[in-house]
Structure 1
């Protein structure tokens, strides 16, 4: 197969010239930014996906066009490796280099990648491409496809899909359909069939009522949830809102609910204690919430989801009589009360890793059954090949093992999947006969607060110990420790943003007032020692009398 790299350069120069002079970094979620600067990035990621597939002997590589929970005008792109995992780290570096070189350097850079990695340019290459429903996604999808085609690769377009669906398609195809059929119907069928087998015909049980309100963040998740409901034989009573009438993630969706600590706009006034579910724009994050009889907002986030799932799975594994180790993976953002509950009540091993799903996923794979969720609601459960084989054999004679097999099929193990996670949560609540108040009462969250501090250069902040300890600038960690010591059950850490020049501050303490005071004290210290930009962060006026 003859591939003309000079033609690749000419096509890029004419059709997808590099417009953004600023460097861009491949983060945990790929490249993100203002859509008007992304045409060249998308074209080059099509080229890279084609090379990655050839490097892996023609295995399917996925490309997803999305900015997830970011608002418009942002968009982005991420690559999906053959087993549904995030792009391997060494290729993130290649991706970063490729998108940042000038148009004139593109031909030589691609040639260098081919030579350095010994890629046989004559091998087949297979790339799957999908997008969310942002208005600029179609033009960006075309750029990706043109990048693949410029190297004479094979490309298959899936149109508007959730990010988890793209991960599902890639794994299904690369496992010769053992994971499922790599189609939209195959995805629906696998999850719905398993969900309805476990659920049975008795749709309400104990305090569990078969009614949920679904906030689709005006993203693709709303569309796909409607498609699920058409196929679900009435097994889930669900009303879908924020279906696309407004802007993606604008005052709605999982990130809005988590950060703002209040219900999404666009939802009806519901009866007290109604289960409400919010996903983000590409449906890979999910959080639950409800308003009680007193009008009090209550959030059930990723920490709550992880503990609920781990408790259920531990019970099932005991009933199966199988010797399988289960562990939970968290980040420093996990609420301290959830960690205490896991260790003291559930007695499950817990590990802490740096922020980013790829870190949690890799750590979870060290267990027979690994449960991971970021506090923002992004996560899943992974089962080792050994665990699946033991469960499969046991299912021949053990009813609990048969149930566990169906549970595995409800789960999209490849990446956080908001709809799959929701179906699993509904399965567990139904099994336990719980409503949201039963779930909330398992433990009491420590009040916490997240702040951003604008700085001249976020790279001045470096961390260790899974981002819980600040290494530079000098004196910041020492000062932070002194501040934290003044608060009952106080905990705080700082970390640089992966995409902008801000430092993220997390703080928790025994009371809401203390959590706020602690957060703003730390934010002021960061501003002082890390080159803060603009005014020093201060508490809103109503709190000043407490300082």
Structure 2
């Protein structure tokens, strides 16, 4: 089984993800990412390579980051330890100081017992599949063994958070004065930097889920648990609520009534604003096949093209890079603004969403009304071969469903990449229609 998943190496800390594995992975990373023209030129000039490392607040992050630092330093790489910071902060800092690569220790929205290791290349970009494959192969090969003064140093990256916060504030097209924002930090990596930055941008800030103790990350708070945020927005009479996940690469929101605003709606608002200001490259938004039909219709009405990719922010990033596009993301809240970030950035997204509210004087509900969300039903059909998604009887069932829906909905069948499972997704004008058709198709897939 491949070590790398869709977003780095992830698993139960001290289960599959051990300190020994982290150390070996770091050593292999030094071997593979220490190659290339720029790296070789630095080494020829007598300079050691430099890596940035950061982590979310999980208690296991301490021993895993220590293992990664040991693996890198023992391979002759200087390490700048940025401490607890969001994933997008780590990615930004790599480019900001022209580091050779970087590592983020986080399992994102997963529960506290899990952890993960994400590796970024020069510039803070995610690794291509081919480079991940080479790193995995190098784990069984010869390691770099410098001695004496050639071993790497480990130092505290003392101004890491300040650099990131200044970058976020510099990106804003409008201050947030007059807005009351509730932030849910998921007891995660943004618990310090997000409230501070929103306040410095001019907002009145109420904070929940910002007391990390190493084991409460994502536990009842954050973008996967929106109930507390909605209740706090209503209780305090705030204008908007912003939710991050554990490593703060996601942003979801609630309006002043506590109504949920998802990643598709956030992208629609930002796309319209960026097109208006001439900042939406080629008037194009990049989204995955899971984005709501309502997003496509809303963007078409605004003269904005939607390019579709497979599910996963890495595929969105890949297409954005190919086309030079400036905005993309996922329904789940990974929103990528390529002018300012090389990955999804929940703090950046939340700031720009609030800036549009402040600039226009409109409520979030009013801004989100640019898009009508079609009811969406997703059924995971487990225990079936993934190939069932393309069997003749299943495809025939899909054709019947699509004919019944016409232009008022759509069907998507997607085999899981990791399990014996087929996902059946149906959108329709009503939830009842979507539920009925999804159940009928799920029965056919089981059939």
TM-score range relative to shorter protein = 0.7 to 0.9
Separation in 2, partners of 1:53, 1:427: 38
Of residues 472, 485, 489, the one that matches 2:403 is: 485
Whether the aligned pair in 1 keeps the contact of 2:198 and 2:351 (CA below 8 Å) is no
- Alpha-carbon distance change, 217 to 191 in structure 1, aligned in 2, over 3 angstroms: same
Of residues 267, 272, 276, the one that matches 1:306 is: 267
SS at match of 2:432: helix
SS at match of 1:277: strand
Residue number in structure 1 paired with 2:104: none
Residue number in structure 2 paired with 1:38: 17
Of residues 166, 169, 174, the one that matches 1:199 is: 174
Whether the aligned pair in 2 keeps the contact of 1:214 and 1:241 (CA below 8 Å) is yes
Alignment of 1:112-511 (within 5 A): 124-174=48-98, 183-195=160-172, 198-199=173-174, 203-204=177-178, 210-229=179-198, 232=200, 235-244=202-211, 247-257=216-226, 264=229, 267=232, 269-270=234-235, 274-290=239-255, 292=257, 298-317=259-278, 325-343=282-300, 345-367=301-323, 369-383=325-339, 412-455=340-383, 460-461=386-387, 470=389, 472-487=390-405, 489-511=408-430
Gapped regions of structure 1 (runs ≥ 5): 1-22, 61-118, 205-209, 384-411, 463-469, 529-547
Deviation of the 1:149 alpha carbon:
3.2
Separation in 2, partners of 1:492, 1:339: 14
Residue number in structure 2 paired with 1:87: none
- Alpha-carbon distance change, 226 to 298 in structure 1, aligned in 2, over 3 angstroms: closer
SS at match of 2:356: helix
Separation in 2, partners of 1:217, 1:164: 16
For residues 433-484 of structure 1, the C-alpha deviation after alignment (integer angstroms, 9 at most, x for no partner) is: 1112211322321011233232266xx349xxxxxxx5x3453333223234
SS at match of 1:199: coil
Deviation of the 1:366 alpha carbon:
4.1
- Higher mean C-alpha deviation, range 436-445 or range 269-278: 269-278
CA RMSD of aligned residues (A): 3.2
Count residues with an aligned counterpart: 384
Residue number in structure 2 paired with 1:98: none
Deviation of the 1:267 alpha carbon:
4.0
Deviation of the 1:517 alpha carbon:
1.9
TM score, norm. by length of structure 1: 0.63
Separation in 2, partners of 1:430, 1:290: 14
Separation in 1, partners of 2:325, 2:384: 42
Separation in 2, partners of 1:32, 1:346: 40
- Alpha-carbon distance change, 420 to 268 in structure 1, aligned in 2, over 3 angstroms: closer
For residues 75-128 of structure 1, the C-alpha deviation after alignment (integer angstroms, 9 at most, x for no partner) is: xxxxxxxxxxxxxxxxxxxxxxxxxxxxxxxxxxxxxxxxxxxx99x9843322
Deviation of the 1:250 alpha carbon:
2.6
- Alpha-carbon distance change, 238 to 142 in structure 1, aligned in 2, over 3 angstroms: same
Whether the aligned pair in 2 keeps the contact of 1:364 and 1:371 (CA below 8 Å) is yes
Separation in 2, partners of 1:436, 1:192: 21
Whether the aligned pair in 1 keeps the contact of 2:327 and 2:336 (CA below 8 Å) is yes
Which of 1 and 2 has greater Rg?
1
- Alpha-carbon distance change, 184 to 273 in structure 1, aligned in 2, over 3 angstroms: closer
Of residues 33, 40, 45, the one that matches 1:53 is: 33
- Alpha-carbon distance change, 252 to 461 in structure 1, aligned in 2, over 3 angstroms: farther
Separation in 2, partners of 1:504, 1:166: 33
- Higher mean C-alpha deviation, range 492-501 or range 281-290: 492-501
Whether the aligned pair in 2 keeps the contact of 1:47 and 1:148 (CA below 8 Å) is yes
For residues 206-233 of structure 1, the C-alpha deviation after alignment (integer angstroms, 9 at most, x for no partner) is: xxxx111111112112222233256x1x
Gapped regions of structure 2 (runs ≥ 5): 101-122, 125-156
- Alpha-carbon distance change, 35 to 502 in structure 1, aligned in 2, over 3 angstroms: farther
SS at match of 1:414: coil
Whether the aligned pair in 1 keeps the contact of 2:49 and 2:99 (CA below 8 Å) is no
TM score, norm. by length of structure 2: 0.77
Deviation of the 1:268 alpha carbon:
6.4
Deviation of the 1:168 alpha carbon:
0.5
Whether the aligned pair in 2 keeps the contact of 1:327 and 1:367 (CA below 8 Å) is no
Of residues 500, 522, 530, the one that matches 2:441 is: 522
- Asked if 1:29 is matched to 2:29, the reply is no
Deviation of the 1:375 alpha carbon:
0.7
Separation in 2, partners of 1:277, 1:222: 12
SS at match of 1:515: helix
Separation in 1, partners of 2:58, 2:263: 26
SS at match of 1:238: strand
- Alpha-carbon distance change, 171 to 52 in structure 1, aligned in 2, over 3 angstroms: farther
Whether the aligned pair in 2 keeps the contact of 1:160 and 1:220 (CA below 8 Å) is yes
Whether the aligned pair in 2 keeps the contact of 1:490 and 1:508 (CA below 8 Å) is yes
Separation in 2, partners of 1:497, 1:251: 27
- Alpha-carbon distance change, 514 to 439 in structure 1, aligned in 2, over 3 angstroms: same
SS at match of 1:376: coil
